[in-house]
Chain A
Amino acid sequence: MNKPLRRVAMAMMAMIVLLLANATYVQVIRADALRNHSGNSRTLYQQYSTPRGQIIADGKLLASSEATDSERFEYKREYANGPAFAPATGYFSFVYGRGGIERAENEVLSGTADSLALNRLQRMFSGQEQQGGNVELTLNPAMQQTAYDQLADSGVRGSVVALNPQDGSILAMANSPSYDPNRLASLSSEEQQQAWNELREAPDDPLVDRATSTLYPPGSTFKLITAAAALETGKYDYNSKVTAKSSIKLPKVDAQLPNYGGATCGSMPTAPLWEAMARSCNTAFAEVAGDIGEKKLRETARSFGFGQDLDIPMGVEQSSIGDIENQAQLYQSGIGQFNVRMTPMQNAMVAAAIANDGKVMKPHLMEKTLAPDMSVLDRTDSEELGQAVSPDVAHTIRDMMIKAEQHAGDEGKISGVQIASKTGTAEHGEGKDPHGWYVAFAPAENPRIAVAAVVEDGGNVGADATGSKIAAPVARAVIRAGLQGGG
C-alpha cells in the first residue's frame, strides 16, 4: 500500500500548492482591485482611523476631524456652519464618497499626497500618529456667510460668487438651497442614507453647486461682453450713437425685440452707448451685436473665459454663447438671450476682468496646502488666463457700469462706496418668472471685490422681478461684508 500512500502524499502537496497559488492571486495580483473596490469598508475605516486634515479660511475652521469613541470610526468629520460653506468644503461620506474640496484635495487631507511623504516618514519613526495635511481656502468667511444668509434667509434659489479681481482668488461662493455636510459625515450609514435620499429627492437640487455647475441665461449682464466686443473693434466708443427705439424688428423674421417695459432709451432718437448701457437698452445692444458680427462676439466671450476648462480645483461648467444660425438670433444673443448660458463663476470673472484692467485671472479656491504642523507645503500662485480687452476698453466699460449702478434700484446701497455694476433680468421660457442677475465690482476706482449674483425664477418677487430688485441687494451686502467687515 506504500505506492498509493506516496501518491496521496503528492496529491496533498498539490492541494496545498493550489491553495497557495490562489492565495497569491487574491493577496497580490487581485489585491489592488479588491482594496479599491467600492464595497470594501476597510479602506473607508482606514480613512477614519487617522485624523483628516482641516479645511480653514482666514483663520476660521470650516472642516475638522474630531475623535470619537467608536472602534471602527475613530474620527468624525465636522463642519462648522456646514450649509453656508458646503459649496467649497464639499462633503465626506463613507457611503457616498466625497465632494468639493474634500474630493479635490483628498490626497492632502488624508495625508497620502506625495508632498506629505517626508512628513509621513518622520511621524512613523517618531511614533506619532499619522495625520492628514490641512488646506487653507481663499474664502472670506464673512462674505461667504453673508452671501449664504442673504439667499437662504429670503428663501430664494440662487448663487453668489465673489472674486478678488487682482489675483482671481475666490472670496465667496454660496448657493441656495444648500445642504448640511455634517449629516452626510454621520457615523451612522442609515442617517447618511436618509440625508442623501432627502437631498436627492428635494426639488431644488441642493446638492448641485450652482456657482460652478448651473448654466443660466445671463440676460442683460451679457451686454458687458457685447459692449467690450464693440469697443474692441474700434468702431465704437463711450459716446457712440446707437438706436434709442423702444422696439426694433428682428432681421428677416416677423418678430419684434422690445426694450424692457417698452421704454425708449432716453428722449432722443439715438442715445450714446453709455446711456444704452446705463438704461440696459435691448434694441441698442441687439443692433450693436448685429453690427460687429458673430465672430467678434464669440472671440471676446472666449477671451473672458467662455468655452474654457477651468478647475478651481473643482471643475467649472463651460459657459457658452450657443449656436447662432441667423442675424435674428445674433441680435438676441447680443442681449444675453437665445442660447447664451453662463455660470455665476463666469459672470463674476467678466466683472473681475473689467475691474482688473481687462486682465482675466484664473479663479482659485486654494490659498495653500499645509503640513499637519501648519508649515506651508504649497501656495497657489495667481494665474493669468489672458487679456480679455485692453485697459482702455476696460476703463470705458467701468465708467458705463458706474452709470448703470445709478440706474439700478437703491435697495441695499452702500453709502460712501462707489460700485460699478450691471443688472440683468433673464427670460427663460414662457410663463416662468425671470432670473435676476447683478454683476458688480467695488470700489469702482480701486476694485477689490468683483461679484456676480443670480436669483432664480423671480426670487420672492415673482413676475415683476428684475436683477436690481432681487439680485442687487444680495451682491451689495456681500460687497459691504468684504469692504466693511460684515454687517
Chain B
Amino acid sequence: MAATSTNPDNRETPGGPGTGKGTGAATTTPTRRGTELVLLAFAAVVVTCALTLVNLNLESQPASQILYYGLAFLALFGLAHLAVRRWAPYADPLILPLVAFLNGLGLVLIHRIDIGNAAEAERAGEPFGPAAPSQVFYTALGLVLLALVLVFVRDHRTLAKYSYTCGLVGLVALALPAVLPSMIAPNINGAKLWIKLGPLSFQPAELAKILLLIFFASFLVSKRELFTTAGRRFLGIDLPRARDLAPVLVAWAASIGIVVLERDLGTSLLFFGIVLVMIYIATERAVWIVIGLSLFAAGCLAAYSLFGHVQQRVDAWLNPMTSDSGYQLSEALFGMATGGIGGSGLGGGRPAIVPYAKNDFILAAAAEELGLLGLAALLLVYLLLTARGLRAALAVRDSFGKLLAGGLGFAMLLQVFVIAGGVTGLIPLTGLTTPFLAAGGSSLVGNYVLVGLLLRISDASRRPQQPSKPQPQQPPIAEAHTELVERPR
C-alpha cells in the first residue's frame, strides 16, 4: 500500500479550500457521505427487523410501536450523519453504519434480556428496572459527544499538544475509584472501578483508556528515534536509554498497578496489550512484543500465585462445570450450545439465565439466540470496524495520527477479543464491556468518543491535502529513519 503515503490526490488536487464542496468536482476525492446514509438506513432496517422478531416471539409490545422505534433510531443516527457530513466530510463511510448496527442490535438484545429478567423478577416478587431505556439515553449522549469531538477537534494533531495533560488526567481517572471512599466508589462484584454520584454511575477507565492512548501516541512519536537508536546494545537488541523509556514504563506500570489494585483484570490486560502494540508500531521492532509477552507471562504467573481472585478465575475457566465460580461461564456455554449453528431465534432462547447477560455476557446471549452464524457476523463487524481504524492509520500522513488510529483500532478489537474469549471459554474470564453491544453508559459514551477520534483521523487521511502545505515532494517522516546510518561502536 505504498500509494497511501504518496496519494496522487495529494499533488493533483488543484487549489481548492479542501472542503470538497463546489470546486473541481471531477478531481476531488468523493466524500462517500451518500454511501454512509444508505448503509445507516440498512442498519436501521436490520435492527427494526430484529426488534420485530423479538416481539413476534415474546409479544412484548404493539407492532406499530416498533416502526416508531426504527424511525427514531434512524433519526438519531441521521443526526450523527449530518454532524459527520458537516464537520468530517471525508470520514470513512463505513464506521458510523457499523457502529449503528452494533449499537442497535445491542439495544434489541438488552430489551430482549429485560423481558426475560422482568418475568423472573416478577416470579421472585422483586422490583425490576429495565436497562434498555437508559441505554437509549446513553446512545444519544454518546452521539452528542461524538459530534462534539468532531466540532472541537478540528485537527487530531492538536491533541498531541495536550499529551501530558491527557496522560495525567487519564491516570487520575483510572486511579480515582481506588482512592475514593466506598460510598462514592462502591466495590461491585469484587472490583472497585465504578464511581457513583446519585443516580449516575460511570467507569472512569473507559475515558482513561482514550486519554492514555493519546498520551502514549504523542509520547512515542516524539521519542521514537531515541527508542530505536540511542542506548545500549544488548544481545543484539538496541535498548533505549532509561530516561527515554522511563515515562512509558511509569505510565504503564502505574496503569497496571491501579487496575490490579482495583481488581479489574480485564482493563489491566487491555492496557498492557495496547501499550505493547503501540510501542511495536512506533518502533517497528518485534523484539518489543517478545519482551512484552515475556513480561506478561511472568506477570501472569506472579498474579496467579499472589492473588486468590486470579486463581479463582483460572479455576473457573479450566473447570466451568465443577468450579464454584464457574457458574456464569457454564451457563453461557450451555446457552451457546443450545443456540447451536442457527440459534434459537431472537426471543426464542433463554439468555436471561446467564448472570449479567446484558452486561459482560451479552455475546453469549447473542450466540444463543443468533447462533454461531450470528456471533460470527458480529465478530466480523467488529473486525471490519477496527480494520477501518487501521485503514485510516495507514492512510493518514502524520505519525501521531497513525499511532493514535492504530492504537484506537487495536484497543477496540483487543477489548472484543478479551471479553468474547472470556465468554466463550477461550481465555479466563475478565470483566470487560463489549463495545456498543453491552448495557453500560460509560462504555457506550467512551466508545463513541473513540469512534469520534477515528472518524476525525479517517477524515484527515482521505481529505485532499491543502496546497498551502509546503514540501509536497518530501517523503513522509515515517519513512525517514530507514536512511539513518547505524551508530558507530
How far apart are B476's CB and chain A's nearest CB, in angstroms? 9
What is the minimal beta-carbon distance from B120 to any residue of chain A, in angstroms?
Answer: 6
Segment at the interface with B among A30-38, A147-155, A178-186, A299-307: A30-38
- The smallest beta-carbon distance between A75 and chain B, in angstroms, is 15
Instruction: From A1, A2, A4, A33, name the one whose CB has the most chain B CB atoms within 10 angstroms.
Output: A1
- Which residue of A has the minimal Cβ distance to B335? A42
Measured CA separation A3–B387 after assembly (Å): 15
For A19, give its contact among B5, B379, B478 (CB under 8 Å).
B379
Q: How far is the CB of B141 from chain A (nearest CB, A)?
A: 28
**B383 and A28: CB pair below 8 A?**
no
Whether B120 pairs with A72 at a CB distance below 8 angstroms is yes
Residue of B nearest to A38 (CB): B321
Report how far A299 CA is from B221 CA in the complex, Å. Answer: 97
The reply to whether the CB of B445 lies closer than 8 angstroms to some CB of chain A is: no
B425 touches A26 (CB 8 A): yes
CB-CB < 8 A to A71: which residues of B?
116, 119-120, 122-123
Interface string of B322-357 (1 = CB under 8 A from A): 000000001101111111110000000010010000
Is A8 an interface residue when CB atoms closer than 8 A count as contact? yes
Is residue A128 contacting chain B, with contact meaning CB distance below 8 A? no
Chain A 230-261 interface residues, beta-carbon cutoff 8 Å to B = none
Q: Is A39 touching B330 in the complex (CB atoms < 8 A)?
A: yes
Of B4, B337, B339, B394, which is in contact with the most chain A CB atoms at under 10 Å from its CB? Answer: B337
Residue contact B376 to A20, C-beta cutoff 8 Å: yes
Q: Are A28 and B340 in contact (CB under 8 A)?
A: yes
- Interface residue A70 (Cβ < 8 Å from any Cβ of B): yes
| Candidate in A22, A27, A71 with the most chain B CB atoms within 10 angstroms | A27
Interface locus among A9-17, A162-170, A322-330, A350-358: A9-17
Residue numbers in A under 8 Å from B382 (CB-CB): 16
Query: In the bound complex, do residue A1 and residue B334 qualify as a contact, i.e. CB atoms below 8 Å apart?
Result: no
Q: Are A12 and B399 in contact (CB under 8 A)?
A: no
Beyond A31-B337, A39-B330, A72-B123, is A9–B372 a contact (Cβ under 8 Å)? no
Q: B228 to nearest A CB, angstroms?
A: 12
* B4 partner residues in chain A, CB cutoff 8 A: 2
A5 close to B426 (CB less than 8 A): no
* Chain B residues near A16 (CB-CB < 8 A): 379-380, 382-383, 413, 417
B390 touches A26 (CB 8 A): no
Residues of A within 8 A of B387 (CB): 9, 12-13
Q: How distant is the Cα of A41 from the Cα of B281 in the complex, in angstroms?
A: 47
In the complex, are the beta carbons of B379 and A8 less than 8 A apart?
no
Interface membership of A6, Cβ < 8 A: yes
A15 to B390, CA, bound (A): 15
Given A5-B393, A8-B277, A70-B123, verify A27-B367 contact (CB < 8 Å): yes
A122 at the binding interface (Cβ < 8 Å): no
Q: List chain B residues, Cβ under 8 A from A42.
A: 334-335, 338, 350, 353
Looking at the complex, which of B10-18, B181-189, B402-410 is the stretch in contact with chain A? B402-410
* Known A-B contacts A8-B277, A34-B334; A22 and B413 likewise in contact (beta carbons under 8 Å): no
CA distance A72 to B124 in the complex (A): 12
Report the Cα distance A28→B386, complex, angstroms: 27
- CB neighbors of A among B409-446 (8 A): 409-410, 413-414, 417, 420-421, 424-426
- The residues in A between 43 and 80 inclusive whose CB is less than 8 angstroms from any CB of B are 43, 45, 70-72
Partner of A6, one of B1, B331, B350, B399: B1
Contacts of B5 in A (CB 8 A): 2
How far does the Cβ of A50 sit from chain B's closest Cβ, in whole Å?
13
Q: Are A27 and B341 in contact (CB under 8 A)?
A: yes
User: Would you call B123 and A18 a contact (CB within 8 A)?
Assistant: no
For B457, list chain A residues within 8 Å (CB): none
Q: A149 CA to B25 CA in the complex, in Å?
A: 98
| Cβ contact within 8 Å between B402 and A1 | yes
A358 shortest CB reach to chain B, Å? 55
Specify which of A9, A22, A35 lies most central, judged by the most chain B CB atoms within 10 Å of its CB: A9
B371 within 8 A of A: yes
Closest CB-CB distance, A190 to chain B, in whole Å? 13
The verdict on A12 contacting B340 (CB below 8 Å), with A19-B379, A24-B372 known, is no
How far apart are A33's CB and chain B's nearest CB, in angstroms? 8
Docked CA distance A20–B420 (Å): 10
* Cα separation A220 to B373 with both chains bound (whole Å): 70
A3 near B284 with CB under 8 A, answer yes
State in angstroms the CA–CA spacing of A7 and B116 once bound together: 43
User: Are A1's CB and B284's CB within 8 A?
Assistant: yes
List chain B residues, Cβ under 8 A from A5: 281, 390, 393-394, 402, 406
Q: Which residues of chain B come closer than 8 Å to A40, judged between CB atoms?
A: 334, 337-338
Interface residues of B in 285-325 (CB under 8 A from A): 321
A468–B288 CA distance with the chains assembled, in angstroms: 94
Shortest CB-to-CB span from A6 to chain B, Å, is 7
Measured CA separation A173–B321 after assembly (Å): 40
Residue A417 CB within 8 A of the other chain: no
- Min Cβ gap A40→B in Å is 4
Partner of A8, one of B123, B340, B350, B410: B410
B42 adjacent to chain A (CB < 8 Å): no
B146 contact set on A, CB distance < 8 A: none
Given A2-B4, A2-B394, A5-B393, is A23 in contact with B376 using a C-beta cutoff of 8 Å? yes
Chain A residues with CB under 8 Å of B282's CB are 1
Q: How far is the CA of A37 from the CA of B5 in the complex (A)?
A: 56
Which A70-95 residues have C-beta < 8 A from chain B?
70-72
On whether the beta carbons of A6 and B120 are closer than 8 Å, the reply is no
Task: Supply 13 A–B pairs (Cβ within 8 Å), ascending by A.
Answer: A1-B406, A2-B1, A6-B390, A16-B383, A18-B417, A23-B379, A24-B372, A26-B337, A27-B372, A27-B375, A39-B330, A41-B331, A45-B350
Binding site for B on A (CB under 8 A): 1-6, 8-9, 12-13, 15-16, 18-20, 22-24, 26-28, 30-35, 37, 39-43, 45, 70-72
Chain B interface residues (CB < 8 Å from chain A): 1, 4-5, 116, 119-120, 122-123, 277, 280-282, 284, 321, 330-331, 333-341, 350, 353, 367, 371-372, 375-376, 379-380, 382-383, 386-387, 390, 393-394, 399, 402-403, 406, 409-410, 413-414, 417, 420-421, 424-426, 478
Extra contacts besides A12-B409, A13-B383, A45-B350 (4): CB < 8 Å: A5-B393, A8-B280, A12-B383, A20-B379
